[in-house]
Amino acid sequence: MPGGAQNMNEECSTNSSNVPDVGAATAKIVELFERGLAEREDLKKWIEELSSKANPTIRDRLCLALYRHQLSFREPPLPSGDPLTGATLWEYWASHPTEYRKYCRLETEIQSYLEPPETRLSRAKSIRQGMIDLIQQDSVTFLAYYPVIEKMFGKPETKAGPGAPVTRRLPAVRAVQMQIDNDWNLKRVTKELCDCGNDHSQYCEQRMRQSIISLKKLLHKCKVEPPRP
Ligand SMILES: [Zn+2]
């Protein structure tokens, strides 16, 4: 089998006199990527629904950006002529670690505006555990693939990309929505959403402004920003 998966198999087997049965191992990983391919139908449906909304909210726009991004993972630029299958998809990402990291960073950044950090981290952990359970079904597979899984799924992104601290990201989404819906200024939005527990200061407003700017940058980058009033 050509591509990245084969290269990794060679690396894994050099330290061992027993050559692992990589055919069986690959089949399990490929099965996962085939599931990923099947998810494209749902993603496309959701993208279409969100794209046709007359008045999408900021949250809708972020979801649209997320689903488009997740679809792009499932349809990478394969070498011309290669059909899109679970195997070619796995090979593409296994042999493009830099692009994979970049993909994960942006996915995490978008998700950080849609759900609290605890939810995101616990999901990342359960995905990793799912991968490990899958390959643990036999020890040969486990030995051959554990390093690969660790590399790809080992550390959930904790930084959540550029921008404001994760705790201020959900409020930023509400803030921009309030600005649009109610035409509220920064002072009013801060009063409504700042959780400092005191009388709000310049500092509160500044933090709110920073979070809003980060969010707007992301919306712009993902080409889902709301039209200017
Ligand atoms: Zn405050």
**Neighbouring C-alpha atoms within 13 Å toward the C-beta of 3:** 16
For residue 6, the model assigns a pLDDT of 29
Do the beta carbons of residue 127 and residue 32 sit within 8 Å?
no
Q: Quick one: tokens of 37?
A: 């391919």
Q: Is the dihedral of CA 57, 60, 64, 66 positive or negative?
A: positive
For residue 144, the model assigns a pLDDT of 65
Centre of ligand 1 from the C-alpha of residue 140, in Å = 56
Distance of CA 107 to the CA centre of its chain: 2
Do the beta carbons of residue 13 and residue 144 sit within 8 Å?
yes
For residue 23, the model assigns a pLDDT of 59
DSSP letter at 85 equals -
For residue 20, the model assigns a pLDDT of 46
Centre of ligand 1 from the C-alpha of residue 209, in Å = 12
For residue 19, the model assigns a pLDDT of 45
d(CA 178, CA 193): 10
Centre of ligand 1 from the C-alpha of residue 178, in Å = 17
For residue 145, the model assigns a pLDDT of 67
- Name the region of 49 (left: φ>0; alpha: ψ -120 to 50; beta: rest): alpha
Q: Which residues of the chain have pLDDT under 70?
A: 1-25, 135-159, 229
Among 21, 47, 33, CA closest to 78: 33
d(CA 72, CA 93): 12
Centre of ligand 1 from the C-alpha of residue 133, in Å = 45
Question: pTM above the 0.95 mark?
Answer: no
Centre of ligand 1 from the C-alpha of residue 200, in Å = 4
d(CA 53, CA 150): 40
Centre of ligand 1 from the C-alpha of residue 185, in Å = 15
- The H-assigned helical ranges of the chain are 4-13, 22-38, 40-51, 58-74, 86-94, 97-111, 117-135, 139-153, 169-182, 186-193, 202-221
d(CA 187, CA 84): 51
Centre of ligand 1 from the C-alpha of residue 165, in Å = 15
d(CA 208, CA 177): 13
Cβ atoms within 10 A of the Cβ of 80, count? 5
